[in-house]
Structure formats: C-alpha cells, structure tokens
Amino acid sequence: MEVKLALESEWEACFEPNSYGFRPGRSCHDAIGQIYLSINKLPKYVLDADIEKCFDQINHKALLSKLNTFPTMRKQLAQWLQAGVIDEGQFLATSEDTPQGGVISPLLANIALHGMESLVKQVSKTACLVRYADDFVLLDKDITVVHRCKQVIEEFLMGMGLRLKESKTHISHTLHKYEEKVGFDFLGFNINIRQYKVGKTHYGKLGGHGISRILDFVTHIKPSKEALKKHTNKVGEIIHSHKDASQMVLIKHLNPVIRGWCNYYSCVVSKGIFTKADLNTYQQLRAWVVRRKRRKNLTKVMKKYFHAVNGRKWVFSTREDNNPFKLLKYADTCIVRHKKVVGEKSPYDGDNIYWSSRMGQNPELSKEVVILLKTQKGRCTHCRLLFKDEDKLEIDHIMRISQGGINSVKNKQLLHRHCHDYKIARDLQVVGNQELERYIVQNPF
C-alpha cells in the first residue's frame, strides 16, 4: 500500500486528463460527461474499443521502463510482477501480467496505457480519446482520422504486449439518420449515447437571453434497453428467491438494489427508463401476489399488498397506518447532473477546498469542515462566493446556543472570516429584540 501511495501521488501529476478508470476522485460519470462535451450537437464517428486481456498480457520490461523511480522500488516491483500466483493449489508463473487482485494492479495498468491520448493528439488536434481502464472510445468527425488513430493505438499497444479485442472493437456514428450501427455502449455499463435530429419547430435558448435558434441535434445519454433488461432480471431473481418470504423481507431486499441502480443512472436522461422499470417491477410483484392468492379473490389479495400511500395508489407497502414500509419507486429519483472533474486536477494537487467539496473527505481538514463544504457545495452561505484555498474559514452556529440552538452540524454553517465577523456584529445589534431575532434565524442573510 505504501508503494502504491508513493507511485500514485507521482503519476497523478502527469496522467492524461481524459483517463478516468481506477483513479482517485474520478469516476465513470466523469468519462460520460467528457463524451457529452465532445459530441454535444456535433455528430462524430466513434471508435469503441476494448483491450484484450489487458491485465494478463502487459509486458513487464516495457512497463518497468516507464517507471522513473528509485532502482530499489523498481526492483521490488519487478519481483512482485514475477512472483507468480497460486490458483486452486497450483503455482502459475506470471511472466507478462500484473498481480491479480493486487491493490497496485490498476495503477500499473494505467501507467502502462499512459500516452495513448498524447499520440492521438499528435495525429489530430480535434480527436478526443476517453479511456476508462482498458475500455476507451475515440471521437472525431473525420473517418480517416479515426482509422489513422486506430493504427497508432495498435502500434502503441503492441509495444506494451497488448492488442485490441476485435470482437469488441468497431466504428460507428453518433447520428441517428445513419443506417449503420448508431451510438455505442461504453464501459460495459450499458449506457447508450446517441444523437437525434431535431425538427424545424424545436427551438432552444442561447445563454438565457431570450434569443432563439433552431437546434440541429440533441444529444441523449440514457440507460440502454440491455441495462434495463439485466436489472429487471435481477429484480425478478430476488422476487423469485423470496416467493415464500413476508412482504417486509422482500421489500428490504429489493430497496437497496433499486436505490443503487437509480443512483447510478440519476445523472442522465433516465425518467422514461425509470417509468418502464416501475412497470416491470409492478408486473413481477403482481405475479408474486397472484401466486399467493390460493383460490381467493384476486382483488382482495391485491389490496392486501398494494395500498394508497400519500395520495398515490397501488403502492407495494405494508399496512402500517402512520409509517408504512414501502417499496421505492424508480420515477421518484431526482435527476441531478454530474459535474465533471476539472481537467487534470488530482487529489494530490493541494486544492483542499475543491476536493473536500467534491469528495466529502480530506485528511488535512476536520470532518466537520469537510461535511459543511460538501453540503454548501464549496460556497459561503453569506456572500455566495466559492471558497478559495487561501481563504480563512470559520464555523458559525446558525441559531446561537444561548437562544436554544443545538451544537450539531445541522445547526452550523461555514463562512469566510469577514462574513462571520459581519454576522456576529449584526447579531449583537439585535440582542433582546426577540421578534427580530426570530426573523434573522429564519432568514440568516
């Protein structure tokens, strides 16, 4: 782990900006965000590729030659790479791969693949390569540039002992009017990224100033039909495995699965897919109920398991009147756009304010400050300006302890030092005026 932290902090300073897999502070949603920025309202050709057995065929000599580190550490890494593994009681030599399951393996794979984006930029400044671990997409409006970049990438991978997997490598286009394969799935997470022509009657705003123009294309990013199918099958398996369980037990097993799937797709255009998922789940639960009717009236049995909750009918829930235990509804998930990580930023660059606001954790700041930074999205609640790393920050009680406020993070806010001084001065001016104090508590600034 110590070696990984040492190498990671060094390589995070030089990794390419559009590399997102197995890196701290970066996720697949950042990769999707970069693709959206690249193809938004601009049709492009797409090279969707996968590296065959990336972790199993990396050339050790080529990998070690890229490590500009101490000879002792390089020697230690070489010994780890060639140590071999024991699989089902049999020793297997490892002459050309990274340690399976090792904490340092993803980092070594990223180091081995470092340089692909720079080579693509040498071929064409307009080409965009987005990589997540061993999966990547290449985007450009010129098909000849895409083919040339593919050749350059294959030559680069050959030097590392790798090659593209032909069965998962293909060229498509993002525009819906093309008869060939349209759009593409990325990362194996079944996300479709497509563009559709907009008719002449569709207008869009420019900069919010009331100026309208015709939009030629609209980029849609949403879960694919295959993703919905896999999730529906998983939900069906859970329901089938609990065919004799109580309703509460079934709901407790379904809710985490539904919540996790919805949270993953909550940053793209998913409302339509969520509505379909609700329908699919309802049909599966109805079949679960029908199996239990045992010659009873179906309507009566359905009313036993589906109730009206908060004005909504046919909610799969228990009969508890005040606080029913109910199944989560997909369509209730709020769509919140993911904010892509900025350029080449890294958690090791010393920008504590940015990474605390983004990740909600930082070893150099107190837990309370980090929570408030993330809750306030890095902004001061008084002046509404973003905090900077050199700013002096202070924690303030929204409602003073002397006035009945609690010493909890829910009753605290993070302010600039000068904003905090202003609030204290204002509070001192209204001491004793209970009506004005109540107004200030309700309207802090």
User: Token pair 């996790």 is at which residue?
Assistant: 260
Rg of the Cα atoms in the chain = 27
* Three-class secondary structure assignment of the chain: CHHHHHHHHHHCCCCCCCECCCCCCCCHHHHHHHHHHHHCCCCCEEEEEEECCCCCCCCHHHHHHHCCCCHHHHHHHHHHHCCCEEECCEEECCCCCCCCCCCCHHHHHHHHHCCHHHHHHHHCCCCEEEEECCEEEEEECCHHHHHHHHHHHHHHHHHCCCCECHHHCEEEECECCCCCCECEECCCCCEEEEEEECCCCCEEEECCCCEEEECCEEEEEEECHHHHHHHHHHHHHHHHHCCCCCHHHHHHHHHHHHHHHHHHCCCCCCHHHHHHHHHHHHHHHHHHHHCCCCCCCHHHHHHHHEEEECCEEEEEECCCCCCCCECCCHHHCCCCCCCCCCCCCCCCCCCHHHHHHHHCCCCCCCHHHHHHHHHCCCECCCCCCECCCCCCEEEEECCCHHHCCCCCHHHEEEEEHHHHHHHHHHHHHCCCCHHHHHHHHHCCC
Contact 279, 287 (CB under 8 A): no
Q: What integer pLDDT is reported at residue 212 of this predicted model?
A: 43
Q: What are phi and psi of 50, to 5 degrees?
A: -135, 135
Q: Enter the pTM of the model.
A: 0.80
84 backbone φψ class: left, alpha, beta (φ>0; ψ -120 to 50)? left
Q: What integer pLDDT is reported at residue 138 of this predicted model?
A: 94
Residue-by-residue pLDDT tens, the chain, 445 positions: 777 888 888 888 889 999 998 888 899 899 999 998 888 878 889 999 989 888 778 888 888 888 877 777 878 787 777 766 666 666 566 665 566 667 888 888 899 999 999 999 999 999 999 999 888 999 999 999 999 999 999 999 999 989 999 888 888 888 755 444 556 778 656 555 566 666 555 544 444 444 344 445 778 888 888 889 999 999 999 999 998 898 999 999 999 999 999 999 998 888 999 999 999 999 999 999 988 776 667 788 888 888 888 888 888 998 766 677 899 999 999 998 888 998 888 888 888 888 888 887 777 788 888 889 888 888 998 898 988 888 888 989 888 777 777 888 888 999 999 999 888 887 766 555 555 556 555 665 4
| Alpha carbon distance, N-terminus to C-terminus of the chain | 47
* CA-wise closest residue to 340 among 134, 34, 63: 34
Q: Which residues face 139 on adjacent strands?
A: 46, 128
Query: Which residues are within 8 A (CB) of 144 and not within 5 positions of it... i.e. 6 or more apart?
Result: none
Single-letter code of the amino acid located at 48: D
Tokens standing for 281?
């789940």
Q: What integer pLDDT is reported at residue 98 of this predicted model?
A: 64
In degrees to the nearest 10, what's the CA dihedral of 14, 20, 24, 25?
Answer: 110
